[in-house]
Amino acid sequence: MHAAMSDFVYAPPASDLDILHEDHELVFVNKPAGLLSVPGKGADLADCLIARLRLAFPEILLVHRLDLDTSGVMVFARTPHAQRHLGLQFEKRQTRKTYIARVQGLVAGRAGRVDLPLIVDWENRPRQRVCHATGRPAQTDWTLIRHEDDASRLRLSPVTGRSHQLRVHMLALGHPILGDPLYATGAALDHPRMMLHAQSLRLRHPDGGRGVTITTPVPF
């Protein structure tokens, strides 16, 4: 296991559920940083967002995930139909996710696209790495919001949905996400949380196909 994770202790926040929207097919929730989306292996990793949601919505079904250290908008299905409908939207890249990140250093330029294929770094799991030979295609669009001291606030829009995609792509740019326990080093690690937040999610509602956009404020 990577050195940054070897002394990892899971201490999920005790915060109440932050429901952003609910209806007969969907539940949108603001996941706090430090809470797993789904249970890990072992009783000590059982507390997670979907387990907490099931206390209020016993029928809840998983659609997608956010990393442990990422906060922000997640959608869950309340029916098998909604789960299938949303699953296809994610698979066909018909959803639109927007993240806000604070990264180390002053990013040059106003906007760009990172197009670097990713693969599991097997010797350092769960880390991922860029691999042009056998990696899966991955693209991330970024826009500079502003410089903040020796950091930059970016709007990130993943075109693909690879594991750790935004984190590895920002590292590859030379600007790791602040507080990232896997990919940041030195002063960039010295933050109370990883500075990555899923700000908005746009999708088509399973009942009728109308566009739905749910947003949540950035907590940093």
For residues 164 and 175, give the distance between their C-alpha atoms in angstroms, rounded to a whole number. 15
User: 76-106 burial string, b = 16+ CB within 10 Å, else e?
Assistant: bbbeeebbebbeebeeeeebebbbbbbbbee
Contact, 54 vs 180, CB < 8 A? no
Which residues are annotated as catalytic? 67
Measure the CA–CA gap between 175 and 88, rounded to whole angstroms.
Answer: 33
Sign of CA dihedral 179, 192, 155, 121: positive
Q: Are 129 and 168 in contact (CB under 8 A)?
A: yes
Q: What's the Cα-to-Cα distance from 18 to each of 5, 80, 96, rounded to whole Å?
A: 28, 23, 21
Rounded Cα gap, residues 216 and 199, in angstroms: 5
Q: Give the integer Cα–Cα distance in Å for 68 and 37.
A: 7
